[in-house]
Chain A
Amino acid sequence: MSALPLPLPPAVAEAVWRGDALGRGTDTVWPSGFDALDAELPGGGWPGRQLTELLLPQFSLAEWRLAGPALRRVVADGAAVAMVGPPKRPHLPGLMHLGLDERHLVWIDARAPSERLWCAEQLIKSNAAGAVLAWMPQAAPEQLRRLQVLAQSFEGPVFLFRPLAARHDPSPAPLRLQVTIDVDWALDVLILKRKGPAHETPLRLASIPGGLERVLTPRVMRPSTMRPVAPLAPLAPVMPAATEAAPAAASAAALSESSRAPQPLALFPELTDVVGRPDPAASSAGAVR
């Protein structure tokens, strides 16, 4: 035998799995609607017969934007999409933009973690719905393992939405993705776990939700350039439009105190009233630009 590898016949080469190739997933896959994502997913789409974990910084952020485009195929043969414990009230007209309609949606208002698990388990076990979307704020690995074992008999995709904090926990789901949003109508997706080599560079997927593509003008296609301008109008030309936030903010604070000393609180309005999640990054970024 020579040391040089002989070119394999095509039939053999096709049957040989190489270490750098993506694993072959399950028999059925559902194209995700994003070509770049399909290229990275084993099998070329969302897999059936297993769990798919989507980790989000917070719920009701990008669930439909990421998982929604695949559902059009799921419901095409009349199957239903079951939602277990969505964080907010689902809005039918918005989902109709994804090809879903009232005959294909079931909302199960499960609240306690045990109820969510039980409902998801019943739906997966019966293999009657076309897809199951379950929001799981808390779930133990052994509970997910139970779902994963049951999911092997469920033909459609099963999406579990979990908080981003769960990314360091072990999980039996064969496919795990981390999703964050980009205001310029895109999603940043990182595949944390898949059958195949590790995924290192985040994917940027263009995504315009809810039929907005019909009303967006070219001006608003880059919302990142239209951030609210802080009340530092005379200082804005002084400051370069740079992203180095810390020194800029410090100098801005120093300058502003000299010029607009009577109203120090106006610079840091977050100190006066805070709504929703306090975001320390927003104060410096908002003040600089």
Chain B
Amino acid sequence: MLWVALILPPRPPAPSADPAAPPDHPWGICPEAQAGLAVWCLQFTPRVALMEDAVVMEVEASLRLFRGRGALQARIADEAPDLGAVGIGWAPTATAALVLARCGVPDLGGRLLQAVLDPLPLQALSAGAEHAEPLSRAGINTLGQLRALPRGGISRRFGAALLAMLDQAYGLRPEARRWEVLPEDFHARIELPGRVDHAPALLLGARPLLMRLCGWLAARHAGATGVTLHWVHDSMRAKDAGDGGSLTIRTAEPIRALEHFCRLMAEHLAKTKLLAPVGELRLEAIGVQALAEDSASLLPDTVRTGETLYLTLERIAARLGPERVMQPAPGDDHRLEWMTRWQPATDGQRAGASGTGRRRLATRPAPSMPEPGFLLEPPLRLALREHRPHYQGALTLLVGPDRVEGGWWDRLPARAPADAATGTGTRTGTGAGARDQTAPPFTALVPQDDAAMVAVGHRNVVRDYWIAVNDSAGVVAIFRQPLDDGGSAWFLHGVYA
């Protein structure tokens, strides 16, 4: 048996006694903080109990899973203070662990339990603290001195409870605890120590809530696809500020990485404005589902997981916007600009392709036709000199023509007749550079429609592609397109970079 006790500080007394408030905890601590700490502890072991002003848990059977006692001890010492724990003690019995935590002794340090407990003050044992005054008058100040007294006399004068607790501390009598049960839903609430005006500062309060969430998820072997942070405005607020606000963060894959949640939260909070000072935070988990965990294998895993790339992309998308982090999907088309559809990489549907980790995949066969590595968007109309297209100098045509014709089926979304009329009016100026005024703003996801296509109403193209070269522009793909006035124009469309 190896017990850990985490004690919480007493709550400062409320300034105004609210009759509707729940009854105070007998030990003067915040009951919500204790319950929250217990939820967090449940990720280490199911044997978690509330005891006086502390949470105790039995971790003997969990040591190996958490990489040994040293690692677990370091982790708890690192994380528990963020949840409000002010003292941590490790001992073979729960009562002794609590006594050690109150006295600031971290663990036995290789000595016997009896040798460690004997010199500790009587007040550290809650039953001893009740009778500390008469005992100290009798010269009894430490647990060792109390234990040396005749048992019958103690029992008669101070009651059997003191003796029972003393025996439990020394491991002479079994302890019975009521184990905490993991709640089915996760709701956490925290009162901020001060009023917060500035959204990024909410992260400080949200972090303990996220830690509790990650503990709860770990205990359920689950991950969440999102969290919602609600904040409640202070009572001293402007009338139009409302009760509070909320911020929902979604991830495409279920995760329970605390740091990732914190970073996403920080990115989003940096863009948030608070209407009024905030006094209270609540956190809810969204889309909780089972999570396949990494194997804690002895042999080092040389294959890096794809999840981290996924998390990185998500973080980048949180700052730049999801439409600017893209993955391609091949499109079945002969027109170059429609051969690839670029989609947001953090799209949930694409998670299967990108997030399943690294595997050796059969390489797709290369296309049978040569293709440029970069496309211009939209195609750039080239000037002609002596009937030759020029782009950064005269281009030498090498291979061609390669006729690409099609797209009559690809109709543009219907427009208002007025737009169509103006489109027809500008039809004579069919420069590829001329963008239609009604065209949607530039996004990299969808190729731009030029004015001619808008005027015709579908994206039909008739192009003769050539591969051309010159000294400064390198190898490029250009095409000649017939114009409405009977002539033809050359366009630069791709670069074999």
Contacts and interface: CB of A to CB of B under 8 A. Distances in A.
17 contacts: A78-B306, A88-B375, A92-B340, A94-B371, A96-B371, A97-B371, A209-B373, A209-B496, A211-B367, A212-B467, A212-B475, A216-B398, A220-B398, A273-B385, A279-B393, A279-B472, A282-B471
B320 A103 contact: no
B339 A92 contact: yes
B496 to A, nearest CB: 4
A197 interface: no
A107 B342 CA distance: 8
Contacts, number: 241
Contacts of B447: 89
A96 B366 contact: yes
Interface of B: 303-304, 306, 308-313, 315-316, 319-320, 324-330, 336, 339-340, 342, 345, 353-354, 357-361, 363-377, 382-383, 385-386, 388, 390-396, 398-399, 444, 447, 467, 469-475, 494-497
Given A122-B312, A211-B366, A90 B393 contact: no
Interface in A214-240: 214-217, 220, 223, 226-228, 230-231
B24 to A, nearest CB: 47
A127 B308 contact: yes
Nearest to B377: A89
A108 B386 contact: no
A83 B330 CA distance: 18
Nearest to B388: A228
Contacts of B377: 88-89
Contacts of A230: 386
Contact of A91 (B374, B393, B472): B374
Contacts of B358: 77-79
Nearest to A115: B320
Contact of A109 (B326, B340, B369): B326
Given A118-B319, A226-B396, A211 B371 contact: yes
A143 interface: no
Contact of B371 (A91, A273, A277): A91
Nearest to A130: B358
Contacts of A217: 399
Nearest to A125: B312
Given A155-B304, A181-B474, 5 more contacts: A63-B497, A79-B304, A97-B370, A209-B497, A269-B385
B495 A88 contact: yes
Contacts of B330: 92-93, 102
A129 interface: yes
Interface stretch (A9-17, A29-37, A54-62, A169-177): A54-62
A223 B360 contact: no
A267 B174 CA distance: 106
A206 interface: no
B309 A275 contact: no
A264 interface: no
Nearest to B326: A107
Interface residues of A, number: 79
Contacts of B310: 128
Given A78-B361, A102-B328, A105-B328, A128 B309 contact: yes
Interface of A: 57-58, 60-65, 68, 72, 75-80, 82, 86-97, 99, 101-103, 105-110, 115, 118-119, 122-123, 126-129, 155, 181, 183, 209-212, 214-217, 220, 223, 226-228, 230-231, 266, 269-270, 272-277, 279, 281-282, 286
A108 B398 contact: no
Contact of A57 (B315, B472, B495): B472
A230 B368 CA distance: 36
A95 B385 CA distance: 32
Given A94-B494, A108-B316, A269-B386, A286 B474 contact: no
A12 to B, nearest CB: 33
B396 A106 contact: no
B396 A228 contact: yes
A62 B473 CA distance: 10
A183 B471 contact: yes
A216 B329 CA distance: 29
B396 A215 contact: no
Contacts of B374: 60, 86-91, 94
A96 B364 contact: yes
A122 B311 CA distance: 10
A97 B366 contact: yes
A81 to B, nearest CB: 11
Given A126-B309, A275-B391, A109 B324 contact: yes
B391 A276 contact: yes
A101 B364 contact: yes
B326 A277 contact: no
Contacts of B376: 88-89
A216 B398 CA distance: 8
A216 B393 contact: no
B312 A61 contact: no
B474 to A, nearest CB: 5
A61 B368 CA distance: 23
Given A216-B399, A223-B396, A123 B373 contact: no
A267 B253 CA distance: 64
Nearest to A63: B497
A122 B385 CA distance: 47
A20 to B, nearest CB: 35
A231 to B, nearest CB: 6
A287 B11 CA distance: 90
A152 to B, nearest CB: 16
Q: Which of A58, A60, A68, A96 is the most central at the interface, judged by chain B CB atoms within 10 Å of its CB?
A: A60
A78 to B, nearest CB: 4
A107 B306 contact: no
Contact of A210 (B311, B353, B371): B371
B475 A209 contact: yes
